[in-house]
Amino acid sequence: MKALVVIDPQNDFCPGGALAVAEGDSIMQPINEMMGAFDLVILTQDWHPQGHSSFASSHGGAAPFSLTDMPYGPQVLWPDHCIQGSDGAAFHPALDTVRADAVIRKGSNPAVDSYSAFFENDKATATGLAGLLRDRGCEDLTMVGLATDYCVAWSALDGVANGFRVEVRLPACRAINLDGSLDKSLADMRAAGVTLMA
């Protein structure tokens, strides 16, 4: 059984959004065309409450994209984005959501950010994705989405660490590339055994 895991294909990560990834909207149609080749299609959705601790606006004058220390480690402070129920948190309208078998929401704990589809950034609080995949008999995962160097990479690394075979199809991903984060994430994924498909 093979699963397609589509990471955060949301309006706020596309041009015009609060945390826009360059050409983020361009991957929606290729993702739609891939869906029919998989037994299971799972979408993840960043789903932050107002005032989330990962927002720069929650840290009195901190600049977006600066770093702070949280109890679980270093945290990039982001512009307010993907706020629960907002248009920015909605899936991009060009995405075929009808094919989705499940939606995994993450980042709803106001005190902990969540890049990975498997765990919050504390590396302890599970999203339920691993159990869902195992219940469905899926061992092979293909990941696509936004952004390559954050939520896609963290999801791929956690997938391998949880015993899944993981490939990332880079043409159906786009990156933020903050301070060299894209090259680092690609190297980390290769070193962990993630298959990168160019």
Catalytic residue status for 8 = yes
Catalytic residue status for 173 = no
Select which of 8, 12, 25, 113 is catalytic.
8
Select which of 14, 151, 158, 173 is catalytic.
151
Q: At what angle do helices 153-161 and 181-192 cross, to 10 degrees?
A: 20
Helix (H/G/I), strand (E/B), else coil: 185: helix
Helix (H/G/I), strand (E/B), else coil: 134: helix
Q: Where are the alpha helices (DSSP H) in the chain?
A: 28-34, 129-135, 153-161, 181-192
Q: For the chain, where are the E strands, in sequence order?
A: 2-7, 40-46, 67-70, 73-76, 102-106, 140-146, 165-174, 195-197
Catalytic residue status for 123 = no
Select which of 14, 25, 82, 106 is catalytic.
106
Q: What share of the chain is helix, strand, coil (3-state, %, to 5)?
A: 30, 25, 45
Catalytic residues: 8, 106, 151
